[in-house]
Structure 1
Amino acid sequence: MALNFKKVNDVNMEGIKKIYNDSFPLEEMVPFNKLVAISNGTDHLFYGLFDDSTLVGMSYLIIKEDMLYVLYLAISNSYQNKGYGKMAINELLKKYSSYRISLNIEEVNPKSFNYNQRVKRKNFYKYFGFVSQDYLISNDEGVTFETMVINGDVIPQEIRGIFDELKTIK
């Protein structure tokens, strides 16, 4: 079992789109066609995650100088709890070891309807050494996120800059 990151293309696009739509709430999503349009293989990286020829997940990564921002990482519902998420994170940690690797998770708030899922997600990233930046940031739809990072720190302005950039791209 080995995980390969393959660029989104006409052959795998519909499968990746399904995983994307199944994995994220609408208020956290950048339109899929926009992600495809701005992915460029250099600083906006849109991948399907494959085990041999089987699509098991997707990721969207953004490189900003010495930071890798994980905008989206999802494993298909059919393949969750089989080790693919761990393999994906380990691959990112290996490939981008010289980068600060950051991501946002939904705020871990006991009042949230999916509180236990949020705790589990945060603990998943903590397992790999990601640490909370101890600030919250909200998107334009009012979703509040906690930033986690490994290999350094990330200030709120860096995350806000990515949010603003995504908003302005047509």
Structure 2
Amino acid sequence: MNLAAKNIHKKMPDYTAIKKLYKRSFPRKEQIPLWILRIMVHRKTIHAKAFYDGDKLCGFAYVIEQEKILYILYLAVSNALRGQGHGSEIIKWLRDRYPDKTILLEVEAPDENADNAEARNRRIKFYKKNGIYETNEFFSMRGVRYEILSSEVNFVREDYDAFWKKLFRR
């Protein structure tokens, strides 16, 4: 499989499919309004990519780039294509494109009592399989507990905190 990446923009033929995938893939309270995402990508450090296997839309990623960090804001694979390696290929593409960056992201923390406990565990297993580790660093937002994941085995919380400070300082 050799995925091709295209910049996401409102006039692309698959934009409606990407919007639907975004709305299906993330809980409503975790979704940044699409009009804000469209504005965000005008900054040179924020990238929105749609991934294709041939002419078939496989998924997308919204990432934020800083000096040492590549933060995955959103990554989703089309439901019909999950489990076929497309998500791993997207992670590989990101690693190849940003080889000197530590990949960071957050996922809902494991919770066996959560309605989506199985999905949470699958998500963490997917990232671990792709060399992105649990950090045992947690935070809560809007009543949901999240864990920070990192491609760096020796995760430094101060780097994560500095990333957010710099992002919102601009």
After TM superposition, the score normalised by the length of structure 1 is 0.87
Q: CA deviation at 1:113?
A: 1.1
Q: CA deviation at 1:154?
A: 4.3
**Which is bigger in relative contact order (C-alpha 8 A, separation at least 6)?**
1
What do residues 109-142 of structure 1 show as CA deviations (whole Å, max 9, x unaligned)? Answer: 1111111211111111111221222111223x23
CA distance in 2, matches of 1:146, 1:161: 19
Percent identity of paired positions between Structure 1 and Structure 2: 28
CA distance in 2, matches of 1:104, 1:22: 18
2:99 corresponds to: 97
Paired residues for 1:4-153 under 5 Å: 4-9=4-9, 10-11=11-12, 12-40=14-42, 42-139=44-141, 141-151=142-152, 152-153=154-155
Q: CA deviation at 1:41?
A: 6.4
**1:37–1:125: structure 2 CA closer, same or farther, 3 Å change rule?**
same
Q: Secondary structure at the match of 2:155?
A: coil
Q: Secondary structure at the match of 1:42?
A: coil
**1:159–1:41: structure 2 CA closer, same or farther, 3 Å change rule?**
closer
CA contact (8 A) 2:46 2:63 kept: yes
2:2 corresponds to: 2
CA distance in 2, matches of 1:42, 1:52: 27
Q: Secondary structure at the match of 2:73?
A: strand
Q: Secondary structure at the match of 1:33?
A: helix
CA contact (8 A) 1:19 1:76 kept: yes
Aligned residues: 165
Letter in 2 for 1:149: S
Q: Secondary structure at the match of 2:131?
A: coil
Letter in 1 for 2:85: G
Q: Secondary structure at the match of 2:51?
A: strand
After TM superposition, the score normalised by the length of structure 2 is 0.87
Q: Secondary structure at the match of 1:144?
A: strand
CA distance in 2, matches of 1:161, 1:150: 20
